[in-house]
């Protein structure tokens, strides 16, 4: 967006996350360590912006694109046990 000539106020990151299991996607591998690092980095970054949202609180059973990593974005599993340490 910045390269296209828009200033930073035009870019809105609405939700973000990292899966802990599932297939690799374009060279990115889901893992618990990766999810923890991404969450830690996001928490640091989001402290300096007006609002941002982590995707998602709980794992889901719905797969929209056929990719099995879609069900593994939850900070908590369906057993309510945390997959990561909340910063």
H or E element, residue 34: helix 32-46
Q: Say if 35 falls within a structural domain.
A: yes
* ω into 15 cis (within 30 of 0): no
Flag whether 75 is in a domain. yes
Answer whether residue 1 is part of any domain: no
pLDDT digits (tens, 9 = 90+) for 12-68: 777 889 999 999 999 999 999 999 999 999 999 888 887 788 889 999 988 888 888
List, for residues 11-20, the tens digit of each pLDDT value.
677 788 999 9
Query: Is the whole model's pTM more than 0.85, yes or no?
Result: no
Question: Are the beta carbons of 49 and 29 closer than 8 angstroms?
Answer: no
Q: How many domains does the chain have?
A: 1
In a domain, 60, yes or no: yes
Structural domain contains residue 3: no
> Would residue 6 count as lying in a domain?
no
Give the confidence band of 80 by pLDDT, cuts at 50, 70, 90: very high
| Residue 7 domain-assigned (yes or no) | no
d(CA 86, CA 56): 13
User: Can you give the residue range of the structural domain that contains 36?
Assistant: 12-87
- Please give the C-alpha separations between residue 5 and each of 2, 69, 72, in angstroms, as whole numbers: 5, 34, 36
Tokens at 15, concatenated: 């939700």
């Amino acid at each position: 967006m910045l390269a296209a000539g828009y200033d930073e106020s035009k870019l809105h990151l609405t939700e973000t996350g990292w899966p802990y299991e599932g297939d690799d996607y374009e060279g990115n591998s889901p893992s618990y360590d990766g999810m923890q690092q991404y969450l830690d980095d996001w928490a640091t970054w989001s402290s300096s912006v007006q609002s941002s949202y982590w995707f998602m609180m709980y794992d889901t059973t719905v797969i929209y694109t056929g990719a099995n990593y879609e069900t593994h974005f939850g900070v908590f599993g369906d057993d309510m046990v945390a997959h990561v340490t909340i910063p």
